[in-house]
Amino acid sequence: MTNMDILETIKNIKWGISKNEYKKLFSKKNFVDYYPEEKNAFTFVEINDDAYISVSAFFIFHDNVHKLASIGISFFDPSYKRLEDKISQTLFEKNKQVLMSIYGNPDIIIDNPPAESYLSKFINWKTENSIISITLQLSKDYRSLFLSKNILSEKSNINTMPSIGINIVDIQKEKEITDYISNQSIAMKKSQQNELEKDLEKLYVPMFQEKMKISLSQAQNIFNEMLNRVKKDSGGTDTVNLPNNYGDILLNEESTNKKIKFGLDQKRIEGVTNEDIKWWWNTPDLSRRMALAMDAANKYAMHELMKKNGLSDDDAWEKIPKYCPIFGDPYDSSNSDNKHDPLPFELMNRINIYVEKRIKINPEQFKEEIENSPNFNSLIREEIKKNNI
């Protein structure tokens, strides 16, 4: 697949044309709502057995008209995942030859870009009207975006970079379109964040009302205080910009990365399944942090209840591991809770479901089992061995 017809059409396009004029040039294409929050991007997809081609045109608002300023072309496999390296390299070479037939010899060829660019190859052309570039990103450079100590990602705003990308931009608008797309990405992320916060409110506010027997407004105030605290605490951390498919990335990368495989195998010893890994790591960072905040709130509520029953403040905290699950990374020596042999975070959902079920079915028997166990985590581990969780 070389995109010859698309690239030839783009070559003859005049920058600054309107959306309607652009759509007429590709009138036979099926445009899709690829950027639902981005009203200034028009996208169509070419379908082929080997790869899908996504062509997105970006428009900047000038003189009361949205004017074309940039066109980006990306390649994916039919399930919209990254292409295998061999296919990527073949498509890169084919498209490079097509671009050379259209624009001549490149101005810049970089076969080994600096590591911080996360690219494998970069080729650039300049004409009187346009800047054209094609990039290749092989698996080794893609992985470097997401791998660091403790199997967590380096900070990145990128969700899934395509293996191959072609970008053609109005030479007069290069900086403006770069700033524009960056600003729009921030706006889109903010919009997605707002939707996520609304979903979290729908989940937690009724929960607070039911458990704490409080009014709607009181529950909303508690939720907002917790949310603001979580957002403040998350700033600048390693996990805040993890992609929302990070669980899938970990499972995919463990076959070629010993560090990831070791980390996941240690969790599997504790009963963690692939579905648990996906549940935890494919969840937005804010959702994970709210789950941890809720877990902390439950422990505090238990602490206060034990104080009302006559325990001192210190004794009540010492008793918490007896009645509540302790989560964490058992291999993190900096974690003071490690003395409680913490359970992996990935088990949190299954454990919460199990606890609610036991309380509903036979709370007295469950209470007796808790009292007879060394601590709550020990009880959970026994139940996991029995396949009860």
Burial class (CB in 10 A: 0-12, 13-18, 19+), 372: exposed
225 and 172 in a single domain? The answer is no
Please check whether residue 227 lies inside any domain of the structure: yes
> Which domain-ending residue is among 159, 183, 207?
183
In this prediction, what percent of the chain has a pLDDT beyond 90?
51
Question: Does residue 169 have a pLDDT over 80?
Answer: yes
- Indicate whether 30 and 106 sit together in one domain: yes
Residues 159 and 260 in one domain: no
Nearest-Å Rg of the Cα atoms of the chain is 26
Two structure tokens written together for 354: 């199990």
Statement to judge: residues 229 and 370 lie in one domain? yes
Residue 34: band (very low, low, confident or very high) from pLDDT cuts 50, 70, 90? low
Work out how many domains the chain is built from and give that number: 2
What is the pairing mode between strands 52-62 and 65-76?
antiparallel
345 occurs within a structural domain:
yes
For residue 51, being part of any structural domain is answered with yes
The tens digit of pLDDT for each residue in 318-360 reads 999 999 999 988 666 555 555 568 999 999 999 999 999 999 9
Indicate whether 274 belongs to any domain: yes
pTM over 0.85: no
Confidence bin at 27 (pLDDT 50/70/90): confident
Encoded tokens for 112 = 């080994």
Amino acid 144: pLDDT: 60
Q: Considering only CA atoms, which of 148, 170, 196, 201 is closest in space to residue 69?
A: 170
Cβ–Cβ under 8 Å, residues 55 and 46:
yes
Query: Does residue 344 belong to any structural domain of this protein?
Result: yes
Model confidence at 225, pLDDT cuts 50, 70, 90, reads: very high
The candidate with the shortest Cα–Cα distance to 140, out of 76, 87, 83, 85, is 85
- C-alpha span between 284 and 231 (Å, rounded): 12
Give the least confident one: 33-47, 211-225, 283-297. 33-47
Which residue range(s) make up the domain with 48?
4-183
Q: Is residue 375 part of a domain?
A: yes
The residue from 137, 163, 183 where one domain ends is 183
- Does position 160 have pLDDT exceeding 60, yes or no? no
- pLDDT band of 237, cuts 50, 70, 90: low
What mean pLDDT value characterizes the chain? 84
The tokens describing 121, both together, are 């190859």
The 10s digit of each residue's pLDDT in 81-127 is 778 889 999 999 999 999 999 999 999 999 988 877 778 999 999 99
